[in-house]
Amino acid sequence: MPLNEIAASLYPWDLADEGIEHILDVLSSRAEVNSAYLVGLMHKEKRPLHARHYPHNPVRRYYVPEDSRVYWAPDPGKYQRIKPLTTEREFLIGRDWLDELTTAARRRGMRTGCEISHTIIDAQYARENLSDVLQRDVYGNIVGAFEAVEAQRALPCLNHPDVQDYLYGLFADVAANHDVDYVQTCLVLFGAGRDDGGTHSFGPTSWQQLLAVATGGCFCAACKAKATEEGLDWDAVVHQVTHLANLSRRIGLEELHERQLLDESNYTESALLVENEAFTAWLQFRKRSVNRLFALVREALAASGRQVEFRYNTYMASPERAGLDFASAFTYVDSVRESDYSDQLGTAEGVATKRAKLMKCRRALREDQQLIAALGVRPNATTQTLTDSVRAAVEAGADGLSLGHYDGATMERLDAVKLGLHRWEGQQRDWQPLTESPAE
């Protein structure tokens, strides 16, 4: 199948600093981009992410965004208890960046989209005003995304009705009030826990990583109520997961001793699952919760009455540790963006990692669902790894590419996208006869 869609993500500050028309000129002429989307709800993350400084921003060297702001003008009628926060930065305030981008992109005949990124609530605001909706670990601590507890991040619980209302509102707002073809999300799902590394010489093994899920989320009151309604023995779950979390964190002398025996044994991931029934039941409960959330998002987009694609954007190497089971959750999506950026390692091994992740997604999708392969057009990707990544996309049965991200891209890497498309015959124009066919 041809790689018909070539998408690129843009941030509001990119648009303000470089100018929308200039950016679209660069992307379409160099990388054949025909689909542009705004990261319309962006988490707290220094930009550019991998390089220290922007390679081509004429205004600033780097940017530190506010936490989880929306960059469109929210429709107050779509929200209930939890409402989106908007930017307070002077150069961004008071403009609907989504409408500005989609208007410009439409004039060029491009597809348009919006991304609701990793986190949807400002962590500090949520800790002060909405602590009851936040994910809790088995010890009762607030669960954050990616970073240590000390970073004071916070994730809302997918099972809390107010969070579900808020998520429904966000997707419904974008779909009903903006000219988008797709809404993409890489929302962080359940906290996946962290293995602290301990004394591993070569990084944690797979069973040690699965054990660390016991330190993740969620054990809030909403989860307890939902799980109990579904027939889970919540006390047994809490009892067993506490023990496993203690093993993972090495809390208690008995637990430390047991962990040391396990570390020096030939224990396996499957043994951990078979041995711990309540833990396994909790993992399945998280999976059902995530599936319900995907169904809710699909419903919110459909309720707009417009044809708006639900595009899921992967964000983890092992999504099942966050409760995401591709095979069942993907029944609700229209397309998946596999967001692997291993081509940025600059090695053949990195490209092989990307290829494997694409194959995993393709296997979980129906024939009518689209697979979009991300390309990391940033350091330390090379022309070689980027063109090889296009080959991986072709071989994995992808339907498009999606560049991550323009802000950190160099022109050489954007050029490599076009080169890769031609080299690996990614589109129908590459499959034409050498001479004109006789007229019929």
Would you tell me which residues interact with Zn ion (CB under 5 A)?
A: 157, 159, 218, 220, 222-223
Smallest distance, Å, CB 174 to Zn ion?
25
Choose between 222 and 237: whose C-beta lies nearer to Zn ion. Answer: 222
Smallest distance, Å, CB 130 to Zn ion?
13
Choose between 222 and 322: whose C-beta lies nearer to Zn ion. Answer: 222
Choose between 161 and 397: whose C-beta lies nearer to Zn ion. Answer: 161
Give the separation between CA 143 and CA 433, rounded to whole angstroms. 58
Choose between 58 and 140: whose C-beta lies nearer to Zn ion. Answer: 140
Give the separation between CA 201 and CA 383, rounded to whole angstroms. 34
Choose between 157 and 401: whose C-beta lies nearer to Zn ion. Answer: 157
Smallest distance, Å, CB 136 to Zn ion?
7
Smallest distance, Å, CB 221 to Zn ion?
8
Smallest distance, Å, CB 239 to Zn ion?
18
Smallest distance, Å, CB 214 to Zn ion?
15
**Of the candidates 28, 14, 217, 171, the residue with the CA atom closest to the CA atom of residue 108:** 28
| Token representation of residue 20 | 């929308």
Smallest distance, Å, CB 175 to Zn ion?
26
Rounded to an integer, what is the distance from CA 14 to the centroid of its chain? 20
Choose between 223 and 409: whose C-beta lies nearer to Zn ion. Answer: 223
Smallest distance, Å, CB 233 to Zn ion?
17
| Token representation of residue 431 | 């499959």
**Of the candidates 95, 82, 107, the residue with the CA atom closest to the CA atom of residue 163:** 82
Choose between 97 and 282: whose C-beta lies nearer to Zn ion. Answer: 282
Choose between 218 and 381: whose C-beta lies nearer to Zn ion. Answer: 218
**Of the candidates 16, 36, 11, the residue with the CA atom closest to the CA atom of residue 26:** 36
Would residue 187 be called left, alpha or beta, if left means φ above 0 and alpha means ψ between -120 and 50 degrees?
beta
